[in-house]
Each structure stands twice: as structure tokens, then as C-alpha cells.
Amino acid sequence: MQNAKFQLAELEAKSVKVDLLTVLSFEMSIYLVELTVGDNKGLVYQGDKPKRFYNSQNIRDAFTKVTISAAQMLHESPYDEMIGNPESAQQTSMLPFSMKQPY
């Protein structure tokens, strides 16, 4: 699998078919999107920086004209650290993510 940088503006213009869209969930309502397209895997960029999304609808809106075969969300919970416990060996949660518009 090759690392890639996917420019948000080019995805629609080039009619890219995305095999897997993975939403990476971080604290403070910050999301990054990682795409798998064929043998290429990498983050979505806007210019020279990874594109930040601030809610799930923001992600759906950005990809409305891009063909997405499958989508998921990867979430890591910092709960133990937040309450003063030592960091645990929790596994990340892989959740389904719908790209369907709510309207």
C-alpha cells in the first residue's frame, strides 16, 4: 500500500472512486479523513495541510459528488487519561459511518 496525499479539490474533478473512506475522530470535534483508492492510502489535504472537518455533516457535504464504496469511523477514547487513571490498552473502536445525506 502506497502513501498518498489526496487533494480535496482534485477528488471530484478527476472522478475518483474511493474504495474506503475512514473518518479519524479526535478530541474537540476534529476529524481527519483517510482514503483508500486502489493501492493508495492517505489523508485528504487542502493545500499543504490535512483538511480538518468539524462534524460528520461537514464530511458528507465535502464528498457528495465523490463515489464512496464504503465508509467507517475510527475512534479512540482517552477516557482513562481524562479521569487520572493510567493509560489503558484499549482497542480503538471501528464504527460504521453513513455517507447518506439526512434529507
- Distance, CA of 51 to CA of 46 (rounded, Å): 5
Higher pLDDT, 103 or 33: 33
Q: Does the pLDDT of residue 79 top 60, yes or no?
A: no
| One-letter identity of residue 64 | T
Percent over 90 (pLDDT), the chain? 58
- For residues 51 and 44, the answer to whether their CB atoms sit within 8 Å is yes
At 20, which amino acid appears?
Answer: L
List, in order of start, the domains of the chain with CATH numbers. 2-96 (3.30.720)
pLDDT at position 75 is: 79
Q: How far apart are CA 89 and CA 27, in angstroms?
A: 18
Contact predicate 67/21, CB 8 Å:
no
Residue 56: pLDDT band (50, 70, 90) is very high
How much is the mean pLDDT over the chain?
86
What average pLDDT does the segment 64-84 reach? 79
The DSSP output letter for 61 is H
At residue 29 the predicted structure's pLDDT band, cuts being 50, 70 and 90, is: confident
